[in-house]
Amino acid sequence: MKTISYTFLILIASVTSVYGQKKHNKILLESATLHIGNGLVISTGSIGIENGVITLVKNTLAYTYNKSDWDTIINLSGHHLYPGFVAPNSTLGLTEIDAVRASRDFYEMGTFNPHVRAQIAYNCESDVIETVRTNGVLMIQTTPRGGRISGQSSLMNSSCWNWEDGTVKADDGIHIEWPSAYSRNWGDPITKPNETYEDQKRELIAYLTNAKASTNIKDKNTPIQYSALSDCFTGEKRFYFHANEIQQINDILDLITEMEIKFPVIVGGSESYLVADRLKIKKVPVMIGRLHSLPQHDDDPVDLPYKLPFLLQQAGVQFCLQNEGDMEAMNARNLPFLAGTAMSYGLTEEEAIRSITLSACEIMGISKNYGSIEIGKKATLFGSIGSALEMKGNQASVILINGEFVPTTNFQTDLYKKYKTKYGK
């Protein structure tokens, strides 16, 4: 194939036109600032991609090549290249319009639903995913909600033909909503102890104990709910414990020890900094809740949510960022800006990037192939005109998922261009 050199102006049009139609087997992205994802940065770097896999990471100034060696060469001088950002613990792909019940497919009836699988409900045609992808979010841990045990999440690409094609890792873990030790009525400023907390905790632990007891029993009469949990107890899948309060986290850590759970993860963890030493000793990572939130308690410092990543980083606790909360599917596009906030409150730029790339992949068990720009990993990455952690700078110039070009536009940018011409601009 004849070598193709792109200027930036024709790059976006070319990428859009070849989406899903043309194969680019050998691609060279040159002269960009490379944010590797593992803390390293190359100020002027080149990335070589062959058949969807990264085969070359070099300093452009120290690398010479023959143009005939590459099918496609893209000069990204002045741009930034990042590993694809990862959105953990998200209903993205399971909901389209939160106010329309028929478009919400993340909630199941019942208390214990470990057998529910988000993977097969993932909607690749979602317009919301399209708008999130152009901000650099290229992988999603699509996650069910509801009940005490919500079900199984799966890691999905943000561009695909169907859920089979989009699956990065199926059924990576089971999500448990740990009962809250405290309660607060709407409009009441006083937090009160949850009088039924111990009963709720005993009920959940009894369920997990029974499920573990049936792990090695091959009986067709074993309830499907128990069978679904067996891989978590053998260490093939992760337990994601959703909890924020110190009482919850301490009780979870006790359960982890008692039941010998191999891969536990705390999701939320607003007060995790108070038990950071225990988390570090037990090597339990935290998926930190939405940073753009109010503090958990009225007497907490107002900037505590912003500083939480830095506090855990200083304590040596592994963490990544996630965006659970109101309108979380749509707001997943703000994931890079959560990392930007963490950068403003203590993290370095590369540490902030790691919190939404490699650290997330390590926690979810896919770092062998994703999360950083390193030789041997899948070419799931994107370029941005400016810093992707800033709203003005986050403008996608090129997007690749598993080495395939993906459009850098969405229906919102198309409408912007359409109506911009109305006034002759």
As given in the structure block, the two tokens for residue 197 are: 């907390």
* Residue of higher predicted confidence among 200 and 192: 200
Q: Cβ distance 285 to 320 under 8 Å?
A: yes
pLDDT-derived band of residue 425, with 50, 70 and 90 as boundaries?
Answer: low
32, 45 Cβ separation under 8 angstroms: yes
**Is residue 4 predicted with pLDDT exceeding 60?**
no
Q: For residue 16, what pLDDT is reported?
A: 41
Do 41 and 111 meet the contact criterion of CB atoms below 8 Å apart? no
Helix axes of 246-259 and 197-213: crossing angle, nearest 10 degrees: 20
Mean pLDDT of 289-304: 91
CB 122 within 8 A of CB 163: yes
pLDDT score of 218 more than 80 = no
pLDDT digits (tens, 9 = 90+) for 384-413: 999 999 999 999 999 999 999 999 999 999
d(CA 43, CA 52): 24
Give the dihedral sign, CA 290/296/301/304.
negative
Which of these, 208, 206, 226, 205, lies nearest to 217 by C-alpha position?
Answer: 226
Cα(259)–Cα(125) distance, integer angstroms:
41
Element (H, E) at 13: helix 8-18
Between 27 and 64, residue with greater pLDDT: 27
Predicted local confidence at residue 27, as pLDDT: 95
Share of the chain above pLDDT 70, in %: 91
Residue type at 99 in one-letter notation: A
| Higher local confidence (pLDDT), 47 or 221 | 47
What span, in angstroms and rounded, lies between the C-alpha atoms of 27 and 4? Answer: 10
The 10 Å Cβ neighbour count of residue 64 is: 7
Please give the pLDDT value at position 216: 73
| pLDDT band, residue 14 (cuts 50/70/90) | very low
In 3-state terms the chain splits into helix, strand, coil percentages (rounded to 5) of 35, 25, 40
Angle subtended at Cα 62 by Cα 84 and Cα 83, rounded to the nearest 5 degrees: 5
Query: How confident is the model over 181-205, as a mean pLDDT?
Result: 84
Q: Identify the H or E element spanning 28.
A: strand 26-35
Domains observed in the chain: 4-83+378-423 (2.30.40.10), 85-364 (3.20.20.140)
Report how far residue 278's alpha carbon sits from residue 287's, in angstroms, rounded to the nearest whole number: 16
Give the pLDDT confidence score for residue 346 in this predicted structure: 95
Per the prediction, the chain carries an average pLDDT of 90
CA 188 to chain centre: 34
Confidence of residue 186 (pLDDT cuts 50, 70, 90): low
User: What angle do the packed helices 224-234 and 197-213 form, to 10 degrees?
Assistant: 80
Between 81 and 15, residue with greater pLDDT: 81
CB atoms closer than 10 angstroms to residue 168: 24
Which tens digits make up the pLDDT trace of 341-352?
A: 999 999 999 999
- pLDDT band for 7, please (50, 70, 90 cuts): very low
Helices (H), 193-287: 197-213, 224-234, 246-259, 276-282
Chain centroid to CA 180: 25
pLDDT at 51: 93
More confident residue, 1 or 49: 49
Burial class (CB in 10 A: 0-12, 13-18, 19+), 7: exposed
pLDDT in tens, 62-113: 888 888 889 999 999 999 999 999 999 999 989 887 766 666 777 888 899 9
pLDDT tens for each residue of 51-65: 999 999 999 998 888
∠ Cα 364 346 331 (to 5°): 55
